[in-house]
Amino acid sequence: MKILIAGGGTGGHFFSGVAVGEAFLARDGTSTVVYVGTANGIEARAGEGLDVRFIDVAGIKGKGLMSRLRAVFKLPRSLLQSMSLIWSLKPDVVMGVGGYASGPVVLAARLMGKRTGIVEQNSVAGATNKILGRIVHRVFLAFEEAGSAFPAHKVVVTGNPIRERVVQLLTLESTGTVGLGARFKLLVLGGSQGARAINEAMMGLADVVPPAFRDRLYVVHQTGKPDEERVRAAYARAGVDAEVHAFIEEMAEAYRAADLVLCRAGALTVSELSMSSRGSLLVPFPHAIYNHQELNARSLVEAGAGEILLEKDLSPQTLGDALQRLDADRKGLQAMAWKAGSLARPEAATEVVDEMYRLLGVP
């Protein structure tokens, strides 16, 4: 089998694609997997050891007028680049995993008679996937709520594909450690690029919480590169015991060590919270297209696995109040962790691959 996986831009899209690619290889080690993205996406930096190709395409939704015009003018070229790739690689299956790079590749594949599928990671379908859903053979959903955007006969709800190695690490039994011990262990994440609003609120936290809580707090914080030194210096001045990283490579270990996760609500993060059985205080990115991060977050909140603090309400004071309340309710933290774990779908990537094999008529 030859598999082409297109999309990326953000970690949520790209790493879901890598998870699907790895599941194809686990099914048949003689298969080959090629990833297609853009030179500006995370796939250009995080694709070491993978066969990653690039096309020249840009996003349209949520951009200014000139950016949209430039993106439109790039579409014919990106479609021709995609057709050339497909012609040379001759894939059996072409998968789109979200992000604007998936659009021309999956469209070209369908025009050239290839078997196609897309993965929608969010609770609200993205603009590219909404269009592709009309022409592909299968649509794989992380959230059932996104199904209304697609023809029902194409939809398969699998959960969000996560890499097998990460699944194994995230699902190691560690819920029994939540809320135990004298320290309150907080993991702070803003996605692969960090989150300025969360960073700012955490930097001011020490000024508004009692010394006893500050002394009990232990923070592991992924800041993104621009804020790394600033945040590290703020914790040092305040006497807060903290590990500060621009990017955390071993994310599974960070989840397992935490009592609570303060984070955005991207699709990959929400899935990792479930997989690792960790409760969360979620600050959805307010400018996400279709407000999908808030809707992602509410899937956890409705299950009792997390709480939401909207960015418009976020301040050192509101954050400090929420963290102190959660720290004081250790049984509540444990219940949130258990409920998060009940939502996990560790077989998502395998289910995507099995369905594509069935579509091909291969046992």
Would you say residue 272 has pLDDT above 80? yes
Biggest CA pair distance of the chain: 65
SS3 of 143, please? coil
Q: Is residue 98 within 8 Å of 126, Cβ to Cβ?
A: yes
pLDDT for 309 equals 98
pLDDT for 174 equals 58
Contacts with 216 (C-beta within 8 Å, 6 or more apart), sequence order: 182, 183, 184, 327
Percent of the chain with pLDDT over 90: 71
How does the average pLDDT of the chain come out, rounded? Answer: 91
The pLDDT tens digits of the residues spanning 90-101 come to 999 999 998 888
* 88-127 CB burial, b ≥16 within 10 A, e <16: ebebbbbbbbbbbbbbbbbbbbbeeebbbbbbbbbbbbbe
The Cβ-side half-sphere exposure at 340, using a 13 Å CA radius, reads: 33
Q: Residue 339 corresponds to which amino acid?
A: K
Question: pTM for the complete prediction?
Answer: 0.83
pLDDT for 192 equals 62
Output the CA torsion sign for 217, 220, 222, 227. Answer: positive
Q: Hey, how many other C-beta atoms are within 10 angstroms of the C-beta on 361? A: 7
Task: Map out the domains of the chain with their CATH numbers.
Answer: 2-162+346-360 (3.40.50.2000), 168-341 (3.40.50.2000)
The pLDDT tens digits of the residues spanning 57-70 come to 766 655 666 666 66
Q: Is residue 132 within 8 Å of 107, Cβ to Cβ?
A: yes
Higher pLDDT among residues 4 and 11, named by residue? 4
Q: Is residue 15 within 8 Å of 268, Cβ to Cβ?
A: yes
Angle among Cα 7, 8, 12 to the nearest 5 degrees reads: 125
Distance, CA of 309 to CA of 162 (rounded, Å)? 26
Would you say residue 175 has pLDDT above 80? no
Alpha helices in 144-216 (DSSP H): 164-170, 196-203, 211-216
Contacts with 293 (C-beta within 8 Å, 6 or more apart), sequence order: 264, 265, 266, 284, 285, 286
Confidence of residue 194 (pLDDT cuts 50, 70, 90): low
Burial of 65 (0-12, 13-18, 19+ CB in 10 A): exposed
Average pLDDT over residues 181-195: 85
Q: Is residue 146 within 8 Å of 125, Cβ to Cβ?
A: yes
Distance, CA of 57 to CA of 74 (rounded, Å)? 6
| C-alpha gyration radius of the chain | 21
Would you say residue 56 has pLDDT above 90? no
Contacts with 76 (C-beta within 8 Å, 6 or more apart), sequence order: none
At 80, list the tokens: 């021709």
Would you say residue 3 has pLDDT above 90? yes
